[in-house]
Structure 1
Amino acid sequence: MSQNASDCNALTYVNHQSIEPSSKRRRLNSEEDQLVDGQNTYGKTTLSGQSSAIFGNFHGTHNHYYDHTKNDGDATSVPDRRKRLVASLMFKRMDARQHNIATAMPKTCTWLFRHNEFKQWTDDDEMSQHGGFLWIKGKPGCGKSTIMKGALAWANKQKSKRNWITVSYFFNARAPGVLEKSTLGLYQSLVHQILQVAPQFMSDFEDMFSWKAVDDTIVWTITELQGFLLQVARNPERPSLCVFIDALDEGDDKDVRALIAFLEDLTDDMDSMPALRVCLSSRHYPHITIKKGLSLVVEKQRDHDCDIETYVRRKLLVADDTNASDLQVAVCRKSASIFLWVVLVIPILNHMHDQGKSVGDMMRYLESLPKDLEGLFAEILARDTDELRSCVSLLQWVLYASRPLTAVELYLAIQHSWARPEDDEISIPQDAPLSRYLLNSSRGLLEYTKSEPQTIQFIHETVREFLVGTSGLAQVDPALKDNLHGWSHAKLSQACLSYFSRTYSRLPSDIHDIVKNDLLPGTPRHIRVDIRGKTDSEFPFMQYAVENILVHAEAAQQNGVQQDSCWRLLIKGDFGVDDGWRVLRNIFEKHDIRCFDSKVTLLYVVIEMKLPTLTSILAAIPGAVDVECGRYGSALQAACHGGNEYIVQCLINHGANVDKKGGEHKHSVLAAIHGKHFHIARLLISHSASPNLGMLLKTMSRYYDRASEEEISILHDLSLRPGVYDNAEIGELLCLAAGRGITAFVARLLPRVSDVDLVCTDNRHTKYDTALVAAASNGHLEVVSLLLDHGADIELTGNHKLTALAEAVSNGNLQVVSLLLDYGADIEVIDNHGLLILIAAASNGHLEVVSLLLDHGADIEVTGSHGLTALIAAARSGKLECVKLLVNRGANVHVVGLGDSALSRAAGDGHTEIVKVLLAAGANANDGCFALNKAARWGKFEIVKLLIDNGADVNASDKESLYRVPLCAAISGSKYAIVELLLSAGASIDVQLGMHEWLPLSFHDGFMTTLEHLLKTKQTEYAEKIRQLHDMQQWTHYNHSSTCQISAPQARVSLPRGDVFKMDIRSILG
């Protein structure tokens, strides 16, 4: 069995490689962690009590926010987008539970792999019998997690042999963060692990969630992650998958039941798929029924008892005695197969042995011990009354601290729990004495974690459950009996305040200078980091104390213990905040934007910290609610962005102005919308809140693309309130809603506008002038139909001079085009590039739209500017199917527009298949547009050959071109293969070239490289022809402002800035 108590409930650490180095992994910000921690400590310490309050319903409300700083950038590239998405799945302490479990003792826990149920579970032939489920159950503390750790380690060793991948999640009710003990955390962890061990699913993950990467904050929901897991499970090419989930009983009961239902859905219909196995562990209660599966009970296994016997023999330090074996047997028998019971009792027996007690004394003590864990815990606490005050304080701190504390932090917290102002300075003992102090004070109920930094935790969740029960800590200290939670939090708040007050004067002088001169916010980050480091080093409990004074005061007040004496010490003047506390809080804040300036009120601070009870007290101070301050401009806007409905309602009840302007989001409604707290927005609207139209439209245009129907409806309700906006403003809303395709909203707006054809004059929030054009451009058929039925002018163009039909054609919206044509839209209009719509459709390759326009009578030979036809437009754009359609419908293949025929444009741009279609349709390779010349210039070898094969004249001269014959064009581009092809096809160097008066320098460069190539490839006949070509000509080179004569056998070309380029042809030819 395990070597320490934490073996009972943890998992083997699996080092999943991150996409980024661990030092660069993005982490959750401290504010969010503190909020979660704070909620965990209010009044309840068991997860079942917390999770329902925090998470709400299972579907759609389990949100976790992942904050990205400005340094993240837009992450538009695929690697950046992937990194952001994958990193957002991670959370603090994601692997902590498994990392904090020691490895089982040698030769223990191996019985599982010989067990019949386990062997059936791993047998592919048995999958149909058990559906892939194995459920390991046992009493609290029996060692289930240690067994699960061993099972996971065994499965990992089998990966290559069995071609499977393993993923795992261990619920951890003792964790400070919600994601460590929630099904949302489970899904995030499982998906993250799958992406690490099976990167072939990365592209699927990105395809499914790339839309989320555009947000500054990535929010995950259970439904989204379930969708991805379903896609993985249904992939026939995936490897077999083993899922290990430990300590289900430490999750919320409702969520866990939904999880089991999802896992059953996941494993259904897997007959033709790779195996999917799920191994679960939990206590016997709560009972959850599954359709089919295997199960085993740990405490009923004889081999498990043998493991306990092995542990007792190795750990019970009894000198040679004839009764030693009897004591070992007695311990095993009394344990009732509960490993944790053994772990707690053996140190006590060893201590008795060290004190000289006999085996008989130990046997008698053993007989007096309770068999159940709760009774044993009570006995341990009652056994030694020395330092009882330290014991109670220590247990209170571990129970109610908002995050796990280090040994040094715990020591200072305990000492300041009863320290008086006049007491001497408290010094910190060395590591060894400190460890002994904590061990003795905890009576063995606490342990160090293995994760860094090392913190202190209960050895098992059953210890926490016992201490908060009626026979737990309240029995040890009767003063706590009537209100354990309230008085405990009050003690912790007072200890934090005591530490802050007693040590403030001894802080580094830098801090006092900042306070004196009011330099925060605004102090450079590197200075703050330096001060933070000094403070942490010299005053290790200061950060916790400053950040949690009010957190614990809130929890105490919430549980009925008045905290006026606490918060009044932090208030300055009527509403402000103590400068020393504020500056220290800012120093420990990692994000500049979250720092508080000197104008901030204590009410604003507790609202940003989401402390509702203290809010209700401070809001009652006359004049406090509408003080202008802070990042969000007012207490109400901060509350709306934070999303706590109780706090918002409290402020409204105390007279907060719901339409107060200012702050980051300018208005309380918009602050709620930006925070995605739409229930808060509805609450404000019900209290007549009305942001101005400009702010509303900016928010609506931002959220329309990705908002849910519920979210949109909130914005709609706000915009539709009678008498708030005039007709022109409603017209803007109509245009925006039409462009986004929100049919229901358009239908509600239409009765409120006097003119459905109202042209928008302000296009800051939508690029369209009219609702019909907006809807048509984006392909929203239902909205277009609705607007036409309400009399919208089908030919109205607005300021941009575009009709609805032109926009629909340009974007290829076939159904909308069809509808508009049926309503009689003019087919001869132009698009936003000045092209007739048939030409535009052909150029964009909208095949079905082209066909539809032709069916409705569009002239196939209609010409736009410079004689461009639909066929030429399609050919130059490489739209093969449109070319085929137009040719088949009788388009003239000989028409010239913009100086080109369809053939010459296709040839020059390298559209080989289109060239073939046009030639087959009768296009003339010598049509006067010099297709061969263009293809030669741009190196389109296959097309050059195709044109020559179809009779193109290799010596045809284009007087308008810089390169009048194909041979010169090919030479200029150094297209060696084409030069050879033209020469072999009869290109003549004796033809009267009549070269252009101004010849680009590129010809001479091409001439030299072509000549060198021919010589290197020993094609001397062609090389000599090229040399003769050069010798025959006298060319004038034009190079911006310089001209010069070029002649053989030596040429000088004057370049800008006086450089000289020489080429000795005869030396090249040898």
Structure 2
Amino acid sequence: MDAFGTASSAATLIFQLFMTVKKVRETYHDAPEGVKRQAGELETLHNFIQRVEKNEQLRTPEVERILQRCREEAKKLLEAVEPLRKSFEEPEDDAGGKGGGSVAGKTWKSVKLALYKEKDVMDMFAVLERQKTSLGNEINLAGLNVGISHQNQLASVEQKITRKLDRLTMANNTDFEKCMRDIFVTDPNEDRDRLLSAKGPIAEGTCAWIEESDAYKNWLETESSGLLWISGGPGMGKTMLSIHLSQHIEKHAKAKDPTGLVAFFFCDNKESRRNAAAAVLRGLLYHLLYQDAGLFEHLEKEYTYRGEKIFEDGSFETLWRIFLDVVRDTRIPVIYGLIDALDEIGVKSMKTLVSKIQELYREADEKCRLRLIVVSREYPVYLPERLRLSTRIRLNSEPKVQESIRIYIKGSVTELAEMKGYPPLLQERVESALGDNANGTFLWVSFVLKELDEKTPSEVDESLDNLPSGVDEVYERMLKQVTPERREVVRNILLWATFGMESLSLEDLATVAGVKATRYFDVKQVMREKVGHCGHLLIIVGEKVSLVHQSAKDFLLSRRPNAVEADYFPSLPKEEEVHADMAGVCLDAVIKQHKSQNGQQPTPVLDRWGNLAVSSLPPLLSYSVAYWPEHMRCTDSMAMKNVIHQHREFFDDVDALKDWYLAAGSRQHESRDGHFQFDLLSPIHVAALVGLIPLGQHHLSSVPRTKRSDALNRRAGETTALSIAIDKGYLDMMEFLLKKGAMPTYYALRRALLAAATSSSDEFVTLLIRYGAEPCLLPRSEKIKHPLRYSRAKEQYRPEGVYARKEAENQVFFHFASPLDQAVQDKNAKAVEMLLENSKWAARDLKAIQKAIRDPDRRMWNAIDRCLSEKDGKMLFGNTPPEEPNILWDAVATGDLEMVTHLKRKYKLDLWQLWEGGSCPLSLAAGAGNVEFLDGLIKESREDNTPERLEWLAKDVVRRASLDGFADIVDLMVSKYGADPAGEWMGNVPIHHAADRGRAEVVDRLVGKLHVDPNQRDKEGNTALHLSAFVGSTDTLNVLLGKHHVHPNQTGENGKTALHFAAQSRKKSVEALEILVDKYNVDPKQLDGAGSTALHYAVGWASVEIIKTLIDKYHLDPNQRNWLGDTPIHAAADYGWRDQNVRLLIEKYGVDPKQRNACGDTVGHVYAYHGSDPDQADEFNGFLFNEFGLSRDDQNGFGETAEACFGQLMMPMTGGHAERENISRKKAILDRAKRHWMDEHRDHWTDDSIAMPGPGELVGRFET
């Protein structure tokens, strides 16, 4: 058997063995850990063997010998575990497995004999594990011998496995699947293939030079991110070079960085999916997510909240933030990116994207994994200005480009000469002529070759002396060759190819050009001929017709004197008029279809992604539905009015207008907040949707003047026409609506801020504020009471000063955020400054300013600070009323010394100023836990310092630091500022504060370094040991008992020891209890001052776990009485009725619920007196009387029944007030009488001859 066969056989056996061990691990939970661990070892071995299978270079003779040994050992092991494998396959018995077929019913012990000897099995596993180690070493050695880095290989395998697991996980993630559908705009791989189909394959040797370019090699091999700009004039083969680069980068990444990612995007100004900055980012993100599904985590939160709206054209800023997160993902070692033809996206869109790219690479970003290539022309001027700092390859001055053109010419001419039969001398002359006149332009060469292809050899010889001097002259010749009778059709075709919003199909062009089918040829065949009349200006890809190159559009749009193209557009001097005619043609197509449907509502023509929603449509209809508004917006006002007038019947039919707008795809009519109700749209709403001011004027002119305000501010759900204009990004429409009387409401301003955050445009916010929008106002809400006054005139709220009531303010902010708050949340510093500069109220927007102060990213706070006056600062940071949120409190809590120092100096703040509750900013600084921060603030405030202030501060800071666990701050205040480490504060000292919070480090510092007495007592008479036991802090107990040797049996309040406190631990955990008893030898049965055991406290306070530990582990008697005759079950009732604890005592430990204490009380009496709750009446009756059989007629020492006591306490306050008062007074007197008697007999209560008198005698003695 060869090495490959050995590897395959071994892999199969190892996998079977792995599955068996995995099943053992899942089934037999008591199986030895050594057996369970083998699953991981076997999986690793299987991976090693698979690597040998896949890589022939790893199949060395030594590796083959190791694989043979692995195969032999695996066979032995499979035979040994055969009984187990059979037991897994046996079906489970119907009787629950008693017949022996149930694996779940077996234990490892029960199958041990079937495995012969467990030791033998483990020995065989050990042999296999040694073989695994040897195989791994040999693979490493073999890998090194063939130049493979083992570390990179493992990283690659791990990354691939992770990505596969992520993709498997995401396969069931509906959000991921939906996100991939929503983010999809175009597939870059398909775009690349389509370009190759249209332009032809890359000529051999024409692009290889780039691989040897120093600039490209440095960019490719650099360890950090980098930007490379490749620029060149039109027709220089930039797109073909981009295609070659994308292919080369993919090969490089696969060979050198298999864990890296590659993403590319080909821009095209004729395709709406490929001519916007947002589309570029969506394409790159889709490409990256497709390769690594784990990157979805960077989109998930935003996508969950906003859905597909984050992928709209107006959400560029959001997309860029997500893109930055993706390219900074530390899991990815490198990301190679390429953007081709960046100059072909819209000018505004291009500026935004290029600015972001410049910002990304302006400063070294260690987190950025993106190495980016941008390929474009050298204009507009904005490109070289912004990309001047990047590494650059200029194709115009690159000698290798000229050499590539010569290679292209030689290969093409050789092929042409062979086909046409050129003599050698003619072939040489053609090559020479093309080389001399190419001027570095591939496009010119390709055009001339196409012309030569149409000529005979003799004609070629004659034409070489008259070759066109450049691409424009080639285009000029093409147009001159059009005969007069064809010019009108060619003119129409070129107009739509030049000014159309996207490439039209052959049928669409036939419609606009008036071309009809003939008797023998269908319309597509005829149209192909007509397109051919345009020469090489146009190309047909599939069914779509487009200009051959961007330079063709530049040529047709240029206006040169005496140029032949002027003959083609003599009556259309303005581009606006062309678009007006096109809008009319589109509207005619829509109206024609509308009439043919007899006014019925049309089905959507396009889906949300712009694809055809139905298969068969009249020619031009899908284009017309999608783009008639676009063509209208490209006209001037007068031309637009003319179009509206010509199609007035359609525009006056609002339902028809809405229906056909809806037919253009659902994405276009959704609003940002999801409250858009399409059926409620008014004509003004529709005008805002399509962004046509003359249409708005047209509809507004028909509304009476007195009702125009209502028409302008009418809502469709929560959406007004103004909101729609903001969402759509129509600034001119927005200004028109505001001028006519649309109200700049809270909702409109919030929408404008959202638009500013996602598109980096603040013009909408500026315009709204100019027309009276108030930046800190909140919306009207009839459901919420708040301290704001409503102004009906402007439909806005205005504050009555600082917010009057905190509760009301919180209610408002719980439901709404002010515009300033929204700007802070969106991290839009420019909008923040704009809002503050334009509103006298915005500086009082406490919530927004609090949020900015708390944000570690100081940009928002810096923007706010720049706009605040000294008066604003004093209002915000001064001594505000106690119910107001104090901004200075938040500033101090950040621990930012620079910021707080700046606030003090700029706004002249007194950091010693006392706030409500006796605190000051300096004392609160201790809460930051930063020694340098606190020390720096005290130094900064030294001019306001006095000995009295410093003494008070030192005591307060030590107290706070002890509570919060900041030992270094305690040390600072004691050593540097003279604080007393044992200074009393309201009856307690710092060690009590620290122990009560379980701050072991502070307790240790106080006792060990600062020499505080650990036995000091608090106002209740307890020490740090008692408090530590009560909070269940085992660390503090160990510090006190183990390190500082505090006596474990010292008593506190009511004679309780640490044991009693641990039994009622606040943590409800046995750890503190067990440390005291097991580690420090505390007697678990010790009694407190009233003779109560730890169990008496546990049943009333702690968890079932502590009760069981005391009884089962430490053998406390559940029936033991204290001095008052109470057993633990009485204590449970006395502490307020612990249902589960009482049940445990009765049901598990057999405690009699009828036993009485010294006063003759049963559990029922004690509960009625001490733990009764009117809401528990049913539980009380059912639990005690019905379930455990207490008699309702049993009387205590006062002659009262439990039911009577409980019933009296349950009396309504109106009818039984006197009776309740009497019972309460009786209870209080009896309690005091018991305590008085106990104090008198404290030293003799264990003497059996001394018994507590009955209740009547007790009360009588006490009253006497």
Cα distance change on mapping 1:849 and 1:545 into 2, 3 Å: same
Question: Which SS does the other structure have where 1:457 is aligned?
Answer: strand
Aligned equivalent of 1:402: 501
Using the alignment, how far apart are the partners of 2:221 and 2:478 within structure 1?
47
Answer with 966-975 or 150-159: which moved more: 966-975
Identity across matched positions, percent: 15
Could you report, residue by residue, the CA deviation over 1:913-942 in whole angstroms, capped at 9, with x for unpaired residues? 112112122334344435445545665443
Instruction: Tell me which of 610, 617, 636 is aligned to 2:691.
Output: 610
CA contact (8 A) 2:824 2:852 kept: no
Letter aligned with residue 549 of structure 1 = W
Answer with 839-848 or 260-269: which moved more: 260-269
CA contact (8 A) 2:183 2:282 kept: yes
Aligned equivalent of 1:552: 631
Instruction: Give the count of matched residue pairs.
Output: 890
Using the alignment, how far apart are the partners of 2:1073 and 2:550 within structure 1?
81
Instruction: Tell me which of 457, 462, 473 is aligned to 2:546.
Output: 457
Could you report, residue by residue, the CA deviation over 1:885-939 in whole angstroms, capped at 9, with x for unpaired residues? 3443454555677886533443454422112112122334344435445545665
CA contact (8 A) 1:974 1:1006 kept: yes
Aligned equivalent of 2:1035: 942
Using the alignment, how far apart are the partners of 1:455 and 1:487 within structure 2?
25
Aligned ranges 1:874-1023 → 2 under 5 Å = 874-888=961-975, 889-894=977-982, 902-907=990-995, 909-920=997-1008, 921-928=1010-1017, 929-936=1022-1029, 940-949=1033-1042, 950-957=1044-1051, 964-965=1059-1060, 968=1063, 975=1070, 979=1074, 982-992=1077-1087, 994-995=1092-1093, 997=1096, 999-1000=1098-1099, 1004-1006=1104-1106, 1008=1108
Using the alignment, how far apart are the partners of 1:181 and 1:671 within structure 2?
20
Cα distance change on mapping 1:540 and 1:974 into 2, 3 Å: farther
Does residue 578 of structure 2 align to residue 500 of structure 1?
Answer: no
CA contact (8 A) 2:261 2:336 kept: yes
CA contact (8 A) 2:476 2:564 kept: no
Deviation at 1:628, TM superposition (A): 0.9
Using the alignment, how far apart are the partners of 2:583 and 2:1016 within structure 1?
92
Question: Which SS does the other structure have where 2:546 is aligned?
Answer: strand
Question: Which SS does the other structure have where 2:623 is aligned?
Answer: helix
Using the alignment, how far apart are the partners of 2:366 and 2:821 within structure 1?
47
Aligned equivalent of 2:1138: 1040
Deviation at 1:462, TM superposition (A): 2.0
Does residue 668 of structure 2 align to residue 569 of structure 1?
Answer: no
Deviation at 1:562, TM superposition (A): 7.3
Letter aligned with residue 628 of structure 1 = A
Question: Which SS does the other structure have where 1:158 is aligned?
Answer: helix
Does residue 513 of structure 2 align to residue 414 of structure 1?
Answer: no
Does residue 687 of structure 2 align to residue 600 of structure 1?
Answer: no
Aligned ranges 1:262-277 → 2 under 5 Å = none
Using the alignment, how far apart are the partners of 1:163 and 1:244 within structure 2?
17
Aligned equivalent of 1:33: none
Deviation at 1:988, TM superposition (A): 1.7
Aligned equivalent of 2:812: none
Using the alignment, how far apart are the partners of 2:449 and 2:769 within structure 1?
64
Aligned equivalent of 1:830: 916
Using the alignment, how far apart are the partners of 2:1026 and 2:680 within structure 1?
76
Letter aligned with residue 1087 of structure 2 = Q
Deviation at 1:401, TM superposition (A): 2.2
Using the alignment, how far apart are the partners of 2:902 and 2:740 within structure 1?
46
Larger relative helix fraction: 2
Aligned ranges 1:511-530 → 2 under 5 Å = 511=601
Does residue 687 of structure 2 align to residue 586 of structure 1?
Answer: no
Cα distance change on mapping 1:398 and 1:196 into 2, 3 Å: same
Using the alignment, how far apart are the partners of 2:948 and 2:204 within structure 1?
81
Question: Which SS does the other structure have where 1:464 is aligned?
Answer: helix
Aligned ranges 1:486-885 → 2 under 5 Å = 486=576, 488-507=578-597, 511=601, 538=617, 541-557=620-636, 564=642, 566-571=644-649, 576-587=652-663, 588-590=665-667, 591-593=669-671, 600-601=682-683, 605-611=686-692, 628-629=711-712, 631=715, 656-658=739-741, 665=748, 692=794, 694-695=796-797, 698-699=818-819, 702-703=822-823, 719=839, 735-736=844-845, 740=849, 786=871, 797-798=880-881, 800=883, 814-815=900-901, 829-831=915-917, 842=926, 845=929, 852=938, 855-857=945-947, 870-885=957-972
Aligned ranges 1:94-493 → 2 under 5 Å = 98=192, 100-102=194-196, 108-110=203-205, 112-113=207-208, 118-119=213-214, 122=217, 137=232, 140-159=234-253, 172=267, 174-177=269-272, 180=275, 246-247=340-341, 295=394, 297=398, 301-311=402-412, 322-323=421-422, 332=431, 335-336=434-435, 337=438, 338-341=441-444, 343-344=446-447, 370=468, 372-380=470-478, 382=481, 391-405=490-504, 407=505, 411-412=507-508, 414-415=510-511, 418=514, 440=532, 443=535, 445-447=537-539, 456-469=545-558, 475=565, 478=568, 480=570, 482-483=572-573, 485-486=575-576, 488-493=578-583
Aligned equivalent of 2:155: none
Using the alignment, how far apart are the partners of 1:527 and 1:122 within structure 2?
45
Aligned equivalent of 1:722: none
Larger radius of gyration: 2
CA contact (8 A) 1:808 1:814 kept: yes
- Cα RMSD (Å) of the superposition? 7.1
Letter aligned with residue 1060 of structure 2 = V
Cα distance change on mapping 1:307 and 1:946 into 2, 3 Å: same
CA contact (8 A) 2:746 2:773 kept: no
Answer with 623-632 or 482-491: which moved more: 623-632
Answer with 906-915 or 338-347: which moved more: 338-347
Letter aligned with residue 581 of structure 1 = L
Letter aligned with residue 1081 of structure 2 = G
Deviation at 1:836, TM superposition (A): 7.3
Cα distance change on mapping 1:251 and 1:403 into 2, 3 Å: closer
Aligned equivalent of 2:810: none
Answer with 391-400 or 268-277: which moved more: 268-277
Using the alignment, how far apart are the partners of 1:479 and 1:200 within structure 2?
54
What TM-score comes out, normalization by structure 2 length?
Answer: 0.54
Deviation at 1:945, TM superposition (A): 2.0
Q: Which has the higher contact order (CA 8 A, sep 6+)?
A: 1
CA contact (8 A) 1:805 1:820 kept: no
Letter aligned with residue 987 of structure 1 = V
CA contact (8 A) 2:1063 2:1106 kept: no
CA contact (8 A) 1:862 1:869 kept: yes
CA contact (8 A) 2:843 2:868 kept: no
Using the alignment, how far apart are the partners of 2:522 and 2:167 within structure 1?
34
Using the alignment, how far apart are the partners of 1:701 and 1:483 within structure 2?
50
Using the alignment, how far apart are the partners of 1:276 and 1:485 within structure 2?
40
Deviation at 1:811, TM superposition (A): 7.6
Deviation at 1:620, TM superposition (A): 7.5
Cα distance change on mapping 1:894 and 1:112 into 2, 3 Å: same
Could you report, residue by residue, the CA deviation over 1:325-359 in whole angstroms, capped at 9, with x for unpaired residues? 77766765565454435555666777x6xxxx965
Using the alignment, how far apart are the partners of 1:256 and 1:737 within structure 2?
39
Using the alignment, how far apart are the partners of 1:805 and 1:966 within structure 2?
40
Cα distance change on mapping 1:680 and 1:20 into 2, 3 Å: farther
Using the alignment, how far apart are the partners of 1:804 and 1:114 within structure 2?
63
Cα distance change on mapping 1:592 and 1:18 into 2, 3 Å: farther
Deviation at 1:304, TM superposition (A): 3.4
Question: Which SS does the other structure have where 1:918 is aligned?
Answer: helix
Could you report, residue by residue, the CA deviation over 1:107-156 in whole angstroms, capped at 9, with x for unpaired residues? 845465457971475269999xxx9978564x632423212332343244
